[in-house]
Every structure is written in C-alpha cells, then in structure tokens.
C-alpha cells in the first residue's frame, strides 16, 4: 500500500511512456522541425504548421487538461506572435542586392499624411519560420514536462548512468526554489514593514531590491553547513551502493511510440531529399 502511494500510477499509455523514450521523441521532433523548416513552397515553410499539430495532438492524447497546457504554452505563443509581427512589418530584406517584395500596402485613407504600414514578404517568411521553430521545440518540451514528474525523469536518467549526486542537485534545486520563493515574500514584507519603499520610480524600486535579496541569500548560504552535516550523517558521501525507493519502469509501448516517431520523421526526410535532388 505504501509503495503504491509513492509510485505514480498513470493510466494513459502515452503519458506513462518511459521518460528516456520521451526524451528521444523530443529530440527527434526538434531536429526534424529544423529540417522541415527548409522545405519551402514558394518561400513559405507551410509544413511546419503540419508538424506543429503533433504538439496539441500528443498533449490531448496524453490526457493533459487544456488549462494546464495553455498556461505554459501561452507564454511561448506570445513571443512567437511578437516575432511574426516585428519581422513582418520591419524586416525588409536578407541583405544587399535582394529585392524587397512588398506584400501588402495598406492605405487607411487617401490622406497624404497618414503613414501606410507595409508588410514585407521576406519578413513574413522569416518570422513564420523562426516563430514556428520556437513553437515546435517549446511545445514539445511543454508536453514532456507536463507528462513527466521531475522525479521520474531524474530516476530514469540515473538508471541510464547519471551520477546520483547530479540527480540530488537537480531535485534540490526545484525544492530550494519553492523554499526561497516563500522566504523572499516574507523578507519583502518584513522590509516593507520597516519602511523600505517598493512602489515609485525605477530608482526607488531598485533600492528596494537589495534589502530584499541580501538577507535571503545570506541565510540560505549559512544554512548550507548544517545541510552538509545532515547529508553526510545519512551516508550521502560514502562510496557504497545506494538503494532506491522510487522506481520507474517501461510500460511496453516504447517500441511502438519510437517506431511511429521515426516513421513519420522518415517521411519528411525523404520529402526533403527528393526536393533537394530535383
């Protein structure tokens, strides 16, 4: 019963794939995204949109609720839209000697003193490629981290040979972020109660930064000594075999998942080779 509570039982076959397999899928997907970006139809890399469909497809097939997915993904989406916008309106050409193709010239009115925004074709193509690349890679990483618990990932990496101290540092970092985050709010409130101004112009706010962060870091660093003692007393540093209480196992569908990924990738590789040869 106790072990059951420690182990995470996932029912979705895709979400419970072995973490290393998922890492392979992420890697293949990202590399392929770069390759597909070079397949152009009339200058536009339309296939990137098709390739991108795998991200929401995988996410919903893994049973991730839309809100969770959206929270992480929206940040990247905003960056991508900004990239397209700026490239589209501002980037005219790749370099000297290339012709500037203006796609759309809008005239809001016929008044001579209204500036009409133009969309440059090169900027649009470049922007689409850059942002779709980012969306693809970021999206697949979002899928990875939303279907894999951090301790599953560390355990799988350890099984593949990562040193146990590295795993500890990784897990400890995630914990320390929470701890220091809570401490920082406490310290900021305490300093505010002592009269440190946190609202106002940039310089006032900058002055508020130092008294907030110095006590935080200081207490964290000086507490390290005790934590070292604790770890050493628990045998962390001794060069003996360690036992693990948390296990990660393959769920049997890894071969199928990798097979499908490689097959789909090969389709596009062949497409690219054919395009190149012609």
Closer to other proteins by Cβ: residue 39 or 220:
220
Whichever of 173 and 249 has its CB closer to other proteins, that residue is 173
Site string for other proteins, 68-97 (x = CB under 8 A): ----x--xx-xx--xx--xx-xxx------
In this structure, are residues 180 and 188 in contact, taking their beta carbons and an 8 Å threshold? no
Minimum CB distance to other proteins smaller for 17 or for 142:
142
**C-alpha 54 chain-centroid distance:** 16
Residues 144-173 that bind other proteins (CB under 8 A): 145, 165, 168-170, 172-173
Near other proteins in 36-65, by CB under 8 A:
none
Q: Indicate which single residue of 119, 130, 262, 264 sits in contact with other proteins (rule: CB under 8 A).
A: 130
Q: What is the 3-state secondary structure (H, E, C) of the chain?
A: CHHHHHCCCCCCCCCCCCHHHHHHHHHHHHHHHHHHCCCCECCECCHHHHHHCHHHHHHHHCCCCHHHHHHHHHHHHHHHHHHHHHHHHHCCCCCCCCCCCEEEECCCCCCCCCCCCEEEHHHHHHHHHHHHHHHHHHHHHHHHHHHCCHHHHHHHHHHCCCCHHHHHHHHHHHHHHHHHHHHHHHHHHHHHHCCCCCCCCHHHHHHHHHHHHHHHHHHHHHHHHHHHHHHHHCCCCCCCCCCCCCCCCCCCCHHHHHHHHHHHHHHHHHHHHHHHHC
The CB-of-15 to other proteins minimum distance in angstroms stands at 16
Closer CB to other proteins, residue 172 or residue 275?
172
118 binds other proteins (CB under 8 A): no
**Which residue lies nearer to other proteins by CB, 5 or 238?**
238
Residue of 43, 205, 246, 274 that binds other proteins (CB under 8 A)? 205
Q: What minimum distance in Å lies between the beta carbon of 101 and other proteins?
A: 18
Q: Which of 220, 262, 264, 269 binds other proteins (CB under 8 A)?
A: 220
Binding site for other proteins (CB under 8 A): 72, 75-76, 78-79, 82-83, 86-87, 89-91, 126-127, 130, 133-134, 137-139, 141-142, 145, 165, 168-170, 172-177, 179-181, 184, 188, 198, 202, 205-206, 208-210, 212-214, 216-218, 220-222, 224-225, 227-228, 231-232, 236-237
């Amino acid at each position: 019963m106790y072990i059951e509570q420690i182990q995470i039982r996932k029912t979705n076959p895709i979400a419970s794939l072995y973490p290393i397999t998922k890492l392979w899928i992420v890697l293949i997907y990202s590399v392929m995204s770069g390759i597909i970006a070079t397949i152009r139809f009339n200058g536009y890399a339309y296939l990137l949109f098709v390739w991108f469909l795998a991200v929401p497809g995988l996410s919903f097939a893994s049973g991730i609720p839309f809100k969770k997915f959206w929270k992480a993904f929206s940040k990247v989406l905003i960056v991508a839209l900004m990239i397209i916008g700026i490239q589209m309106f501002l980037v005219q050409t790749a370099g000297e000697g290339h012709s500037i193709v203006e796609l759309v010239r809008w005239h809001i009115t016929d008044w001579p003193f209204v500036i009409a925004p133009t969309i440059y074709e090169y900027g649009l193509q470049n922007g689409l490629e850059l942002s779709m690349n980012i969306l693809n890679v970021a999206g697949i990483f979002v899928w990875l981290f939303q279907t894999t618990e951090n301790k599953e990932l560390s355990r799988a990496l350890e099984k593949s040979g990562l040193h146990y101290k590295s795993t500890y540092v990784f897990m400890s970092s995630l914990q320390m972020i929470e701890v220091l985050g809570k401490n920082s709010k406490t310290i900021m409130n305490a300093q505010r109660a002592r009269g440190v101004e946190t609202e106002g112009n940039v310089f006032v706010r900058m002055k508020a930064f130092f008294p907030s962060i110095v006590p935080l870091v200081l207490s964290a660093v000086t507490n390290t000594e005790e934590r070292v003692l604790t770890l050493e007393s628990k045998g962390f540093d001794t060069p003996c075999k360690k036992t693990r209480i948390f296990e990660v196992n393959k769920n049997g569908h890894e071969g199928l998942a990798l097979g499908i990924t490689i097959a789909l990738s090969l389709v596009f590789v062949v497409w690219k080779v054919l395009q190149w040869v012609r």
